[in-house]
Structure 1
Amino acid sequence: MIIDVHAHAGPWFFSTEVGAVETNIELMDRYGIDLQIVSASEAVTYDMVSGNRWMAEVLAAHPRLLGYLVINPNELGEAARELERHQATGRFVGVKIHTTYPDLPLTSTATTEALKLAAQAGLPVLIHTWDDGVLGLVDVLERHEELRIIAGHMGGPAWRTAVDAACRTDRLYLEPCCSITDRGRFRYALDRVPLGQMLFGTDSTLVDPAIALGVIADADVTEHEYEHVMWRNAAGLFGIETTVGLAA
């Protein structure tokens, strides 16, 4: 089984085939991905309200997709209302926060307040990480015991810092998808971070899932590691019921 914890649906400005939700499903079928947790591209880059509304309609029609509710730290009041509007459907299993498009540092006051909203809602957060600021998430997690954070892209070029951060707290998870990846990056993380904190994501449909799957293959994972990274950890984190037993 494979659960992809980092994907997008809707138009994007990358020169890839994106836009139609059918593209997500086609790629899932091609690469054997059973479930995918997606955020609306519109909500990330432009308008969280209309993007989340569109995403809710998509999720209602596609049972293999689960959603991230996107919240913009620049609009905390509206973000709280978005949680009230959509969480009760049960189809949004996490929160997505970007840092580039809202133009806010990873540990800015506004971003920290947005993370607090997610903690109060009891939802894991996928947050875009791309620099050494990922280490600051350790302090944020210490202040909010209910919070669980996924470092999307595993810090990007700061992946060693992300590994250091994940070794300091058991509530920071690493998801390593990236359009260009350093050799040995994922094995480095697996050898240091507790296995239960490692997840699989593709950045589909912005990036072809073949890259993320190639990273796993290159890491020479054991059967035990593969099982936990590819689905077991995600199922536990997001409360996803599967047809595969979840006993350790």
Structure 2
Amino acid sequence: MIIDVHAHAGPWFFSTDVGSVELNLALMDRYGIDRQIVSASEAVTYDMVAGNRWLAEVLQTQPRLLGYVVLNPNDLAAAARELEEYRPTGRFVGVKVHTTYPEQPLLSGAVRDALALAADAGLPVLVHTWDESVLGLVDVLERLPRLRVIAGHMGGPAWRAAVEAARRSDRLYLEPCCSITDRGRFRYALDRVPLAQLLFGTDSTLVDPAIAMGVVLEADLTDEEYEHVMWRNAARLFGIGTGPGATA
């Protein structure tokens, strides 16, 4: 069993073949990924409402995929409406908040308020992290006791800071997908962060899952570590059923 907690669906503006849900499924089959939690690329980069609506339609016909409701911190009223509409469907199991495209720093008041909406809805949040500001998430988590955050990309080049942040809060999770593939990065996290806080993500289809697979397998996981990282922790965090014919 493998659950990928960081993936995307739909076209991006990059010059890569990332436009179809069929590619998501083909890559899942190639790498043995059973379930994948995706955000709509359009919702992340351009139009929150249209992108979430498109993804809701996709999820109706793709049982292997689950969704993140994308929240744009620049329009919190609309973000609240998006949560109200899609949370009850059961097909959206988390929230995605980006920082680059909305041009809101990770520790801005607007991002904090978006995280508070997710906390009130009881949904885990995947947040884009790419510098040492990831350490500030510890304070945000202390102020929002219902909040659970996944540090997307494990802080990117600031992965040591992300590890330190996860050591300070048991509601901060790390997933390793990244174009930064420093040797030993994931083993460094495994040796310092409680196992229950480590997840598997690929950034598919922007990045071939082979990269994240290599980052994780290079860490020479024990059987117990592999089981928890690759699916068990995600199943618990997102409430994903894993038996035959299971749904979220």
Instruction: Give per-residue Cα distances to partners, 1:84-121, cap 9 Å, x unaligned.
Output: 11111000000000000000110100000000000000
Write out the 4+ residue segments of structure 1 that deviate beyond 2 Å after TM superposition.
13-16
Cα distance in 2 for residues equivalent to 1:243 and 1:152: 27
Query: Normalized against structure 2, the TM-score is what?
Result: 0.97
5+ long unaligned stretches in structure 1: none
Cα distance in 2 for residues equivalent to 1:72 and 1:242: 31
Q: How many residues align?
A: 244
Q: Which residue of 2 aligns with 1:10?
A: 10
Cα distance in 1 for residues equivalent to 2:13 and 2:28: 21
Once the two structures are TM-superposed, the CA of residue 69 in structure 1 deviates from its matched residue by 0.3
Determine what percentage of the aligned residue pairs are the same residue.
Answer: 78
Range moving further from structure 2, 13-22 or 51-60 = 13-22
5+ long unaligned stretches in structure 2: none
Question: Does the CA-based 8 Å contact 1:152-1:176 persist in structure 2?
Answer: yes
1:174 aligns with 2:178: no
Query: Normalized against structure 1, the TM-score is what?
Result: 0.97
What secondary structure does 1:106 align onto?
A: coil
Q: Which residue of 1 aligns with 2:79?
A: 79
Cα distance in 2 for residues equivalent to 1:214 and 1:124: 26
Pairing 1:205-224 to 2, within 5 Å after superposition: 205-224=205-224
1:161 aligns with 2:161: yes
What secondary structure does 1:151 align onto?
A: strand
What secondary structure does 2:177 align onto?
A: coil
Q: Which residue of 2 aligns with 1:226?
A: 226
Once the two structures are TM-superposed, the CA of residue 11 in structure 1 deviates from its matched residue by 0.5
Cα distance in 1 for residues equivalent to 2:120 and 2:20: 33
Question: Does the CA-based 8 Å contact 1:154-1:176 persist in structure 2?
Answer: yes
Once the two structures are TM-superposed, the CA of residue 14 in structure 1 deviates from its matched residue by 2.6
Cα distance in 2 for residues equivalent to 1:216 and 1:102: 30
Cα distance in 1 for residues equivalent to 2:77 and 2:181: 37
Question: Does the CA-based 8 Å contact 1:10-1:21 persist in structure 2?
Answer: yes
Q: How large is the RMSD of aligned CA atoms in angstroms? A: 0.8
Cα distance in 2 for residues equivalent to 1:20 and 1:118: 28
Once the two structures are TM-superposed, the CA of residue 212 in structure 1 deviates from its matched residue by 0.6
Once the two structures are TM-superposed, the CA of residue 216 in structure 1 deviates from its matched residue by 1.3
Q: Which residue of 1 aligns with 2:149?
A: 149
Cα distance in 2 for residues equivalent to 1:128 and 1:30: 26
Q: Which residue of 1 aligns with 2:34?
A: 34
Cα distance in 2 for residues equivalent to 1:199 and 1:32: 16
Cα distance in 2 for residues equivalent to 1:231 and 1:82: 28
Q: Which residue of 2 aligns with 1:56?
A: 56
Instruction: Give per-residue Cα distances to partners, 1:176-213, cap 9 Å, x unaligned.
Output: 10123111000000000000000000000000000111
Question: Does the CA-based 8 Å contact 2:8-2:39 persist in structure 1?
Answer: yes
Question: Does the CA-based 8 Å contact 1:16-1:207 persist in structure 2?
Answer: no
Cα distance in 2 for residues equivalent to 1:193 and 1:74: 33
